[in-house]
Structure 1
Amino acid sequence: MQQSPNPDNNAVVFSEEEKGNQLFPVFVKLNKLRTLLIGAGNIGLEKLTAIISNSRQAQITIVAEIVSPEVYKLIADYPRIKVKQKSFDVSDLQDVDIVFAATNNNILNEEIRRVTHDKGLLINVADKPDLCDFYLGSIVQKGDLKIAISTNGKSPTIAKRLKQILSEGIPAELDATLQNMSALRQTLNGDFSAKVKKLNKVTESLVNPKKSFVEANMKWLIWLVALLFIGGVGVTLWNTEPEFQTFFINIDPLFYWFLGAGFVFAMVDGAIGMSYGVTSASFSLAMGLPPASASMAIHISEVMSNGIAGWMHYRMGNVNWKLFKILIIPAIIGAVLGAYILSSLEHYSAYVKPVVAVYTLFLGGIILMKAFNIKRKKAEHKIKRIGFLGFVGGFIDAAFGGGWGSIVLSSLIAGGRHPLFSLGTVKISRFFIATLSSLTFFTMLGGKYWEAVLGLIIGSALASPIAAKVSNKISAKTIMVAVGIIVMGVSLRSVILFILKLF
């Protein structure tokens, strides 16, 4: 490296050859090379894990005086990895193509680099960019698609952050597209230029995908349905409930309770992406609403909020339309059926209420468990029975006042679906489920407890613009713990009161 002092400020000036990122990206077939890893402690384990996670068939020889139990455990299923428990010497470089030095001895690392270069071999020295001939970049992989990220050794942290962004932003479904393109490529005839034109035409849909009429007009469909539904409910109440016309003159205290509750629960939902239904259901039951009326109030208040959320996900391209088409019809059928059954049992609310309380108690426990175990193991295979999942989720959500997100979204993500596309699809589906289940409730029950309904609608609407900003200021784990404890406490109280009444 050539350096010269700056006459003005004595700062170091690099030669033109050293400016910028001079690295040349390559993808090395380690399964075809002979790899030497020197060191088998924590650093060696990290390097070994990186190597075999990208090349499971790599032929590796490990040389180290002390080999950690974790290394032995890791290589148990890799017959092409051999261990020599000894000190390193020059003879270990015989029949080797590439070298990784992963010791915590800087003097030894420099000596390894010197003798490695004498042999004409390339070497990577852990945590010593100046001693490296090549770096290990952060890797994003979706099947056969692999992206390597380099910061020229300046900041591994930024590389890891970019890896996280790309991993979440690139759908796993892209690998299926890649496989289809590979199969198509094998069928093409003609010269190279003709093949490129054909492949460009096929892949144009990735940049400018064709949308169906529903997809292209989803924005207007959402707003039309929401306005017609809310307007229809308002007109019906105005004509059938005399008290509704004088509501703003003599406001029922119940309205204020649900106004505050709707605001708080929408804020919680904005912070952790779930729990509006279960918290609202627990609160409604505690305030004396029958289960069917409580579920009606919750779902009517969710029409507008989920319409806005679904529209935003639609605008950002977060909706998997294939998944939406499979999910929506069974989910609507389940939701309408659940709303019909629960409304039919309104006269038996004294017995239905403890059942719903037990359900919310269970959901509260799930929320509490997620708070302490947010990262879940990703399934190896995607969930297949999407239609059945939608039916069950829709039914339980309507029949028990909530649970669509907890059941469907959690199942999709745990089943290997992309979190962002799953969230967008579940949110926009939720809008139609809330609308049709609300319509069922309203048709069967009429305008019962409309003060609670109006309170939840206005409260949740007021919270929507600021929920996202506030959510960034508060720990999601703290909120989930608090919500889980409160929901379980309120639900347990309802169950205990029911038991005491029996005796």
Structure 2
Amino acid sequence: MRSSPRNNGSATIQYEKTEGNQLFPVFLKLNNLHTVLIGAGNVGLEKLTAIVSNSPSARVTVIANNFLPEVHALASAYNGVKIIQKAFADTDLDKADIVIAATNDTELNTYIRESAHERKLLVNVADKPDLCDFYLGSIVQKGDLKLAISTNGKSPTVAKRLREVLDESLPGELDITLQQMSELRNSLSGDFAYKVKTLNEVTAVLVDKKAEINKKGLIWLIWGTLVLAIAITFYALWSKDADFRTYVEHIDHRFYYFLGAGFVFALIDGAIGMSYGVTSTTFSLSMGISPAVASMGVHLSEVMSNGIAGWMHYRMGNINWKLFKMLVVWGILGAVMGAYILSSLEEYSKFTKPFISVYTLILGIVILRKAIQVGRKRTGSKIKKINLLGFGGGFIDAVGGGGWGSIVLSTLIAGGRHPRFSLGTVKLSRFFVALMSSITFISMLGGAPWAPVAGLVIGSALASPIAAKISNKLSAKTLMMAVAIIVIVVSVNSITKFLLKVF
């Protein structure tokens, strides 16, 4: 089917009319525009959240008679958001560039649309595709990479599901690739044809599946060769070197138990992003290790893993530096104090063990609750006292042998902070907190049983190359529930044994 011909000088051009989604995608610089949002209920909150999540410096005026508390909380976190509690008047659009109608009044939404069109303004009317000049699509973002998904207003649910799939499939490291490509492009000299050729050669690997497979195969080949080399070396020394065999036979047998346990706990942590501290501490206490030594082993094994994770988040731009400074300073103070107190009570470890078991029991319940709530949207008021959160998190983490992520990260996200920046900031600050608490423990515990500690550290290090791959194969919810149940059962058993001895 063809449209009516248009005359363009001496030529007549006919355009082919196409079916399907004919929307033209654009990305607006909302930082340079004034958006007026009418409505502050659930739909208004959803629209405002979408705006500030993508453009934190956007200038937005929200007009409504009644406001949800979450709207006030969200507005207080962004300087560009202004709230006006009043009934809508058409003069409210005099200085607007973009208009969004998000009320539950159909007549009012129609009036807002007419007022916007009188001023030649583009308007979005919530849940009314026929009245919209533009739609707010589902967004997938990895640093500077941003993808917008549109179903032409047919099914926002499908767009949301596609966003979830793409968000999980696209690696966060894509942003590093973008930054490197930008630097490469700026460094190239020569004409346009040469630059295009060079960039094509560099990016060919992105579409070359064979190259990707070869790269993964090479990584696994190197890892497998390393493990095989260690095994062959160990066997050769065991069979031919009597001194080596004698030395191995006299190693504390707990080393091997903790080696396997550290490996498994690191895999679990890689799959669900938490629980390494609580599982390691619970296991250590059940093996007769004192709370101070258990906490030292956990923190020593977490120094390297959190350092690498923090560096990667730094490279991807996932660090909120203002939040980081407050967390790391107060977190270190709390961790050092907690490590000092716990180490000073080492001779009373038989009395401190049940208290730590109560703590791990509580963390087990927290993990179980998180497993039940996986996938639920959580909102709340943003926490303001970061210094108290950092100090408390560091202190409890050192005393209990874990919990920094469960306490600090969960609180930040539940308080409405961006999950990606919260995770990056908490991971980087965790490196310094774990390092300083480890130093404190080592300086205080001169005669600690180092074999179990070494087993935990080495086991977790061996698991790190494959932990990320495990995360894509297992159900996080199922694994979290299993971990929570095990932690709860072991903690209750430890508490019961103590009570039986006392009474």
Regarding TM over 0.5, the answer is yes
Pairing of 1:23-422 with structure 2 (within 5 A): 23-24=23-24, 54=47, 136-138=135-137, 150-152=150-152, 156=156, 159-160=159-160, 247-248=247-248, 250-374=250-374, 375=376, 377-380=378-381, 382-422=382-422
Q: Deviations over 1:158-201 (max 9, x none)?
A: 632576699999xxxxxxxxxxxxxxxxxxxxxxxxxxxxxxxx
Contact kept, 8 Å, 1:319 with 1:425, in 2: the verdict is yes
One-letter amino acid matched to 1:442 = I
Corresponding residue for 2:228?
none
The 3 A distance-change label for structure 1 pair 97 and 433 is closer
* Aligned equivalents of 2:427, 2:479: Cα separation in 1: 21
Please report how far the alpha carbon of residue 432 of structure 1 lies from its aligned counterpart in structure 2 after TM superposition.
1.3
* Equivalent-residue separation in structure 2 for 1:16 and 1:162 (angstroms): 30
CA–CA separation in structure 1 for the residues paired with 2:266 and 2:124:
55
Gapped runs of 5+ residues in structure 2?
Answer: 4-13, 29-33, 49-61, 66-84, 89-102, 115-122, 141-146, 171-242
2-side partners of 1:323 and 1:244: how far apart? 50
Q: Following the alignment from structure 1 to structure 2, what is the Cα–Cα distance between the partners of residues 276 and 286?
A: 16
SS at match of 1:16: coil
Does residue 468 of the first structure (1) align with residue 463 of the second (2)?
Answer: no
2 CA distance for matches of 1:441 and 1:82? 59
Structure 1 position 248, deviation (Å):
3.6
Distance 1:249 1:306 in 2: 33
Q: How many Å apart are 1:447 and its aligned residue?
A: 4.7
Q: Which residue of 2 aligns with 1:204?
A: none
Q: What is the Cα deviation at residue 98 of structure 1?
A: 5.8
User: Cα–Cα, structure 1 residues 21 and 397, in superposed 2: closer, same or farther, change >3 Å?
Assistant: same
1:386 Cα deviation after fit: 1.1
Aligned residue in 1 for 2:495:
495
Distance 1:160 1:166 in 2: 10
Contact 2:335/2:398 (<8 A) preserved:
yes
Counterpart in 2 of 1:428?
A: 428
* Partner deviation per Cα, 1:41-66 (whole Å, 9 max, x = no partner): xxxxxxx975785497589xxxxxxx
Residues 344-386 of structure 1: CA deviation (Å, up to 9, x unaligned): 1000011000010011111111111111123353123x21111
Q: What amino acid maps onto 1:343 in structure 2?
A: S
Paired residues of 1:260 and 1:459 also in contact (CA < 8 A): yes
Letter in 1 for 2:399: A
* Alpha-carbon separation, structure 2, partners of 1:262 and 1:51: 48
Going from structure 1 to structure 2, the CA distance change for 1:378 and 1:167 (only over 3 Å counts) comes to: farther
Aligned equivalent of 2:230: none
**Contact 2:293/2:453 (8 A) holds in 1:** no
Cα shift at 1:150:
3.1
CA 306–286 in structure 1, closer or farther in 2 if over 3 Å, else same: same
Cα distance in structure 1, aligned partners of 2:37 and 2:420: 34
Structure 1 residues 419-454: Cα deviation after superposition (integer angstroms, max 9, x where no partner): 111111111111111111111111111252211111
**Cα shift at 1:17:** 3.6
Q: Is the 8 A contact 2:290 2:346 kept in 1?
A: yes
Pair member with larger Rg? 1
**Which residue in 1 is equivalent to 2:181?**
none
Question: Once the two structures are superposed, what CA deviation does each residue of 1:15-43 show, in whole Å capped at 9, x if it has no partner?
Answer: 6342786435799989799xxxxxxxxxx
- Where 2:441 maps in the other structure, the secondary structure is helix
Counterpart of 2:452 in structure 1 is 452
Q: How far did 1:2 drift?
A: 4.1
Q: TM-score scaled by structure 1?
A: 0.60
Query: Size of the alignment, in residue pairs?
Result: 353
1:250 to partner: Cα distance: 3.3
Amino acid at match of 2:332: I
Question: In 2, distance between residues paired with 1:82 and 1:161?
Answer: 25
Cα drift, residue 78 of structure 1: 11
CA–CA distance in 1 between the matches of 2:421 and 2:35?
Answer: 33
Matched residues in 1 for 2:311 and 2:104: separation?
56
**Counterparts of 1:58 and 1:485 in 2: how far apart (Å)?**
47
Measured in 1, the distance between the counterparts of 2:408 and 2:364 equals: 16
Superposed displacement of residue 322, structure 1? 1.8
Q: What is the letter of the counterpart of residue 272 of structure 2?
A: I
User: Equivalents in 1 of 2:86, 2:155: separation in Å?
Assistant: 32
Is the contact between residue 140 and residue 166 of structure 1 (CA under 8 Å) also seen in structure 2? no
Quote how far apart the aligned CAs of 1:499 are. 0.5
Q: Secondary structure at the match of 1:397?
A: helix
Partner-residue secondary structure (3-state), 1:18: coil
The 1:96/1:412 distance shift into structure 2, 3 A limit, reads closer
Structure 1: which 5+ residue stretches go unaligned?
4-13, 34-47, 60-76, 85-91, 100-121, 142-146, 170-242
Cα gap change, 1:484 to 1:22, in 2 (>3 Å): same
Cα distance change on mapping 1:323 and 1:244 into 2, 3 Å: farther
Asked if 1:441 corresponds to 2:441, the answer is yes
Identity of aligned residues (%): 58
Shift in Å, 1:295 = 0.9
Distance 1:328 1:155, change over 3 A: same
Q: What amino acid is the match of 2:455? A: G
Q: Is the contact made by 1:140 and 1:167 (CA closer than 8 Å) also made in structure 2?
A: no
Structure 2 Cα separation of the partners of residues 254 and 341 of structure 1:
26
1-structure distance, mates of 2:158, 2:407:
34
Match of 1:484 in 2: 484
Q: What does the per-residue CA deviation read over 1:197-229, in whole Å, with 9 as the maximum and x for residues that have no partner? A: xxxxxxxxxxxxxxxxxxxxxxxxxxxxxxxxx
By how many angstroms is 1:255 displaced?
1.1
Report the residue type matching 1:287 in the other structure.
M
Deviations 1:448-471 (A, max 9, x none): 221111111111111111111111
